[in-house]
Amino acid sequence: MPEKRPSVLILGAGAVGLSFAAVLSAHSEVSVVCREKYAKAIYEKGLELSGIWGEHLIREIICYTSPDMPAGKNYDYTIITAKGTDTENICNEYVKVLRNTTAVSFQNGIGNEDIIQRYAPLVIGGTVSTNFGFISDRHLIINSQSDPVKAGIYPDSHCSSKEADILTSFITMFSKCGIEVIESKDIRSEIWSKSLLNVAVNPLAAILKAPIKKLGDDDLKETISGLINETFLVAEAEGIDLPWESPDSYASYLRNYQLNAFGEVYPSMYYDIINAKRTEIDLLNGYIAKTGRKYGIETPYNTCITNLIHCFEKSRRILF
């Protein structure tokens, strides 16, 4: 008897979500909620993925463009890849789906999982350090990956044996498709660790119209160090155990490895600014500033960067 294929729904499927859909479709029953232009192109010619995760062409994939979905349909996993600014709205719109599924967050920023926990019985947090992009509305490309995908029960590994089995099955689902996913015993730490990169470089790259590699300039060293130092202080206050011994050790890792690993890539915040979209700054530097205030920790660098990005969001003419 053939093995039952897991059912997966991907909410907010842009470049990240559609790339996951293309890969997972080999061994899973995948549906996506995406923009109408993507759904139309996929129905006409299929979903295609190129790059370091291999070549995939998926002809049969179910696309939805709204919460108007078949009643009573349950999914083993609902993966949320929407922008963090849309997390609350997504959860409200798909509350009936989320209450009967394991929800998985592969999103930028800090705090998404805390929102999702209010809607789903079990949440898996995840990190993806990969450069996804569109070739066309139906064709995605993955150019680079600086770290493996990581996933863990949120907020920590203190879970039941049933929950641990669900996580194992989720990771196995990816492994069957050739994608390495590392189980994290402390996914909150992983999320904060990834966010360190986003906090340190995303807004600066957007402001300077520069690819990530260019942020190794000596004139930016003090600013980046300030952003990192403040994030370490706030993380410590929150009880987050970061994998680096000190802010300086992370700053060295950033300069010597991460900036080069991403090379000429521009962060999503840069594209949000030039396309007059709301950024995820409040889930990154803004989150650090807000949480710092809660603990009486001064965060002048993160506060300044947050305010600057808010100005650019209000009026692109300031920058472009």
Q: What is the mean pLDDT of residues 88-106?
A: 96
The one-letter code for the residue type at 8 is V
Please give the pLDDT value at position 156. 80
**What is the longest distance spanned by two Cα atoms in the chain?**
64
pLDDT, tens digit (0-9, with 9 covering 90-100), for 34-44: 999 999 999 99
Instruction: Work out the mean pLDDT of the chain and round it to a whole number.
Output: 93
What is the share, in percent, of the chain residues with pLDDT greater than 90?
Answer: 85
Please, which residues bridge with residue 133 across strands?
141
Q: What CATH class is the domain 189-318?
A: mainly alpha
Q: Residue 9: its pLDDT value, please?
A: 98
Answer yes or no: are the C-beta atoms of 182 and 148 closer than 8 Å.
yes
Q: How far is CA 153 from CA 66, 102, 164, 208, 233, in A?
A: 28, 10, 8, 37, 25
Amino acid present at 296: G
Q: Which CATH architecture has domain 7-185?
A: 3-Layer(aba) Sandwich (3.40)
pLDDT confidence tier of residue 71, bands split at 50, 70 and 90: confident
Structure confidence at residue 3 as a pLDDT band (50, 70, 90): confident
Highest mean pLDDT: which range of 51-55, 223-227, 309-313: 223-227
Residue 94: predicted pLDDT: 96
Domain residue extents for the chain: 7-185, 189-318
* Mean pLDDT, residues 164-191: 95
